[in-house]
């Protein structure tokens, strides 16, 4: 274990998923954590889970306050905490940053001690019962200067992120909001729009669903109320992207009306260019993997046997995707390996009697 | 091995990915296959791969012709084959069915011997070198009555699908085209539209990309020319879906302009309903899985060790998703299990020293 930079007591305001997870993670590092939440139920669960303790009269001054309140009240809570704890650094963990920073600034609070942050660890159930100390492990944690944040305040929040196993990334509020509009809010809206088309689809049509539909709509299962508030708080950047998307969509409809193959190909080509820009594993440049697809009987231990045999051969999988089949007790495992490893992988699999369903190059 | 119903010689016209794969699969079952392709290069590769042989003067009459020609010429080739082989059943494997059937009918060909089909086995590289005998294993294979297909012709094509390991699904041409517009063409357009927005994104924004963006844009890497012709051939159903999507998109933009949380939530809720309709594994009703997320060091054998230990405990994984982290040599494995298995899984993992990053319920 590496040394811990964060000094207690840390005050966590809001004991939902993020606040409770932060408490659990800090307690696992032996940092003193004080919890607060207007909901006695939520607070009670977080206390029972060991995410921290109640404040005491003789507590040392709080060094750091983490505001993990709902998006609509977070700025107000940040301003109140800056006022109540005049020596503390205060951060929040809301997923939109410009509106929070502007509201905190408008309150007249001390911006030198305020730093925005956004641990990108969503997609879990909400509430304290879903909390986990490891929630932030290996996830980006965006750190946002208030415009007047002191170096000390910025370092305090960066240390919190690193202590919790996250990867700190420094951005300004506008840059953060533009970025999450692109990589998070736009895909969410698109997934919801595609999934909404399925409401009226016939069951026979849905029975043909393959991995493409499943992939594009997976995040459409997200919480509607939470997402409504996120989208509303980042309306400007999200709107701009959606208007651009609508212009391209109109081009597709026009190309369908005209039977223009060139017009249709242009949109797919633009998508080719865009998807190729998503960074590859480990934050590096996108890298072409080769993919070998193998049939895996759907019985306990078969997938493990497959991966054991690959591991025994010293081949490292870059990615693994399981695809299930309608009405068949067999799955397809797509194994991504570095270019050049395919030949060895295919040989190992064939020698062990695995049935290979395909080889492809994959961006 | 189950007995083989398909009788040779089977004539395969078009030795791209699908035609060559069909040849390889039939040859593996010892069925005589005759190959044809206007491209000598493609034909030569398919012959070298063992997908079949050249026709000979003393060949027995062909019992079945499979037309695997490019979409724009498939109807013309089907009509010519019906004429040239008056005792043969003729099928094609194009991914849009109404336009092909109408064009074959307009040619005055014998529709009793024609059956449309669509093996749903895409996403691979194109061309004969990408062909695999197992390409169709466990995939749906849609079988489409011409409107006048004889029972014998329908059974011949159904037997082909079953012999090749696919799951035959009977639909009419319009039903098929509506279905693939929903489950395949719409997600393709949506993925391309989202990915096209990434062309202008800043690298710092793309560095925050998580699994949501990767999932929604994975199929945006597809071949542009192929997709332009598929979309053009299914313009009606695709257009209708895109116009519906555009209306919902306009509602999102209006809700952003008005700051209407209810309006934004409605779109996400519609997506919730739609995604819940996608059938679960094995073609059954969607079933809620529980998901346990585990940190996996990115070294050969670690994922295999994890799955071996799960298999040894007799726990069957329903799904497995690997998620990579920016800048970190560690991955997150999301393990889906049946409700009720989570407790046992968490205990097994904890006993073996695995770090658990989350538990959730997942539709």
User: Could you tell me if A166 and A24 lie in one domain?
Assistant: yes
Neighbours of A32 (CB within 10 A): 17
3-class secondary-structure state, position B169 = strand
Does pLDDT of B255 surpass 50?
yes
User: Could you tell me if A357 and A312 lie in one domain?
Assistant: yes
User: Could you tell me if A39 and A84 lie in one domain?
Assistant: yes
> Contact at 8 Å (CB) between A194 and B245?
yes
Residue A2 in domain: no
Domain extent for B135:
10-171
CATH of the domain at A184: 1.10.3660.10
pLDDT tens digit sequence for B49-91: 899 999 999 999 999 999 999 888 999 999 999 999 999 999 9
User: What is each CA distance from B195 to A183, B32, B192, in whole angstroms?
Assistant: 10, 45, 5
Reduced 3-state DSSP string for B89-124? EEEECCCCCHHHHHHHHHCCCCHHHEEEEEECCCCC
User: Could you tell me if B102 and B193 lie in one domain?
Assistant: no
* A91 vs A82: CA distance, rounded Å: 10
* A187 vs A180: CA distance, rounded Å: 10
Q: Which residues of B touch A207 (CB under 8 A)?
A: 140, 169, 279, 283
Residue A288 in domain: yes
User: What is the least distance, in Å, from the CA of A328 to any CA of chain B?
Assistant: 6
Which of B171, B187, B203 marks a domain boundary? B171
Instruction: Work out the angle between the directed axes of helices B235-258 and A186-196 (0-180°, nearest 10).
Output: 130
pLDDT tens digit sequence for B17-29: 999 999 999 999 9
Q: What is the pLDDT of residue B251?
A: 97
Residue A17 in domain: yes
User: Could you tell me if A230 and A106 lie in one domain?
Assistant: no
Residue with tokens 């594009």: A216
Average pLDDT for chain B: 89
CATH of the domain at B355: 3.30.70.260
User: Could you tell me if B91 and B166 lie in one domain?
Assistant: yes
User: Could you tell me if B266 and B289 lie in one domain?
Assistant: no
Which of A275, A301, A317 marks a domain boundary? A275
> Contact at 8 Å (CB) between B19 and B161?
no
User: Could you tell me if B167 and B47 lie in one domain?
Assistant: yes
Residue A195 in domain: yes
Q: What is the pLDDT of residue B54?
A: 97
User: Could you tell me if B15 and B162 lie in one domain?
Assistant: yes
Q: Evaluate whether ipTM surpasses 0.85.
A: no
Helices marked H in chain B: 17-28, 40-48, 74-84, 98-106, 151-163, 173-180, 186-196, 203-206, 211-217, 224-233, 235-258, 261-275, 302-312, 342-351
Quick one: which H or E segment has residue A358? Answer: strand A356-362
* A95 vs B137: CA distance, rounded Å: 43
> Which residue is closest to B25 within chain A, CA to CA?
A357
Residue B4 in domain: no
Both tokens of A346, joined, read 């295919």
Does pLDDT of B103 surpass 50?
yes
Does pLDDT of B275 surpass 90?
yes
Number of structural domains found in chain B: 3
pLDDT-derived band at B285, boundaries 50, 70, 90: very low
Residue B308 in domain: yes
Measured in Å, how far apart are chain B's first and last C-alpha atoms? 36
Q: Does B274 touch chain A (CB under 8 A)?
A: yes
Which parts of chain A sit beneath pLDDT 70?
1, 122-126, 281-289, 300, 323-330, 360-363
User: Could you tell me if B242 and B294 lie in one domain?
Assistant: no
> Which residue is closest to B171 within chain A, CA to CA?
A204
Residue A127 in domain: yes
Nearest to B199 among A224, A256, A273 (CB): A273
Which of B249, B275, B301 marks a domain boundary? B275
Residue B195 in domain: yes
Does pLDDT of B325 surpass 70?
no
User: Could you tell me if A197 and A301 lie in one domain?
Assistant: no
Q: Give per-residue burial for B104-142: e unless 16+ CB within 10 Å, then b.
A: bbeeebbbbbbbbbbbbbbbbeebbebbbbbbbbbbbbb
User: Could you tell me if B156 and B186 lie in one domain?
Assistant: no
Q: Does A197 touch chain B (CB under 8 A)?
A: yes
- For the entire predicted model, the pTM comes to 0.80
Handedness of CA A29, A35, A37, A42 (dihedral sign): positive
Q: Which residues of A touch B290 (CB under 8 A)?
A: none
């Amino acid at each position: 274990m590496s040394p811990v930079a964060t000094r207690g007591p840390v005050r966590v305001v809001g004991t939902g998923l993020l606040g409770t997870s932060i408490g659990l993670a800090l307690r696992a590092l032996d940092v003193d954590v004080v919890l607060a939440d207007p909901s006695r139920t939520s607070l009670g669960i977080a206390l029972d889970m060991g995410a921290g303790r109640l404040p005491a009269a003789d507590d040392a001054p709080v060094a750091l306050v983490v505001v993990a309140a709902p998006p609509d009240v977070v700025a107000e809570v940040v301003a109140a905490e800056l006022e109540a704890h005049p020596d503390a650094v205060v951060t929040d963990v809301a997923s939109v940053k410009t509106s929070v920073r502007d509201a905190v600034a408008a309150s007249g609070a001390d911006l030198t001690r305020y730093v925005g942050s956004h641990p990108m660890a969503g997609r879990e159930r909400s509430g304290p019962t879903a909390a986990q100390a490891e929630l932030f492990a290996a996830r980006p944690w965006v750190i946002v200067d208030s415009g007047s944040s002191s170096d000390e305040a910025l370092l305090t929040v960066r240390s919190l992120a690193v202590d919790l196993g996250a990867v700190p990334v420094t951005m300004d509020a506008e840059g953060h909001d533009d970025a999450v509009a692109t990589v998070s809010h736009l895909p969410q809206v698109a997934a919801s729009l595609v999934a909404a088309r399925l409401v009226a689809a016939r069951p026979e049509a849905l029975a043909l669903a393959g991995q493409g539909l499943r992939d594009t709509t997976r995040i459409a299962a997200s919480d509607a109320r939470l997402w409504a508030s996120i989208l509303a708080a980042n309306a400007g950047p999200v709107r701009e992207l959606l208007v651009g998307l609508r212009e391209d969509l109109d081009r597709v409809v026009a190309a369908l009306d005209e039977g223009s193959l060139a017009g249709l190909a242009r949109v797919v080509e633009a998508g080719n260019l865009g998807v190729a820009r998503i960074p590859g594993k480990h934050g590096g440049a996108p890298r072409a993997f080769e993919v070998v697809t193998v049939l895996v009987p759907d019985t306990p231990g078969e997938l493990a046997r497959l991966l054991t045999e690959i591991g025994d051969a010293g081949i490292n999988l870059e990615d693994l995707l399981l695809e299930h089949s309608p009405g068949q007790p067999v799955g397809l495992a797509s194994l991504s390996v570095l270019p050049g490893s395919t030949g060895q992988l295919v040989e190992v699999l064939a020698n062990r009697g695995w049935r290979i369903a395909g080889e492809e190059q994959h961006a």
